[in-house]
Homo-oligomer: A and B are copies of this chain.
Amino acid sequence: MPSIQHSARGHARREEIVRAAIEVIAERGYRGASLAAVAEKAGLSQQGLLHYFRSKEDLLIGVLQWRAETDTGGRDIVADPMSLAATQGVVEANAHREAIVRTFSALLGESVTGDHPAAEYFRIRYRRVREAMTATLRLEWGDRLPSGLTPEEAAPLVVAIMDGLQYQWLHEPESFDMPAAFKAFVRLLDPKAAP
């Protein structure tokens, strides 16, 4: 018999807990979040929650992995890179999922403070995302972008734009048009792109 963690019901329950954790972290940050608050929001006892995630850190990794899978649909984006149009699609989708973007941005900020449990995750993630973005840009333009930059030079800029625009958007979600800003950046990469 499969363990409860790996059964379909266990999987659904883990996702419920992750969604509850996203809401709690968006409100209070990771350091301010308690397992008790997550359990209560998910309609479980704290013991019940610990059945699915062994610790607060384990739950944090669960949240970050769930977010990464939501972005990429689980594909290996280094071996099988997304197109730039698909990247634009991720930015557009993010503009409709404020809670997860808020949680991600809060965790990214916390992760630069002393000994944060997500620091290693973000360090490795950045290397991997830059590598994937390099592959995306090479797929689009070969070894030189229209601006003369190499894919390796441009990749960290795409990543920085995505992270940076999220903060401007989260502070004014009603009036700051994040997808339009990203589209303007794509026109910097390729002045021939449609305005």
Contacts and interface: CB of A to CB of B under 8 A. Distances in A.
Interface of A: 25-29, 31-32, 102, 105-114, 119, 122-123, 126, 130, 146-149, 153-154, 156-157, 159-165, 167-168, 170-172, 176, 181, 184-185, 187-189, 191, 195
A193 B103 CA distance: 38
Contacts of A185: 157
Does more than half of chain A's interface fall in helix, strand or loop, or is it mixed? Answer: helix
Contact of A181 (B108, B113, B157, B167): B157
Contacts of A122: 167, 171
Contacts of A187: 147-149
Give the number of copies in the complex.
2
B28 A113 contact: yes
B171 A29 contact: no
Nearest to A176: B156
Given A159-B164, A188-B188, A106 B102 contact: no
Residue of A107, A160, A163 most packed against chain B (CB within 10 A): A160
A171 B119 contact: yes
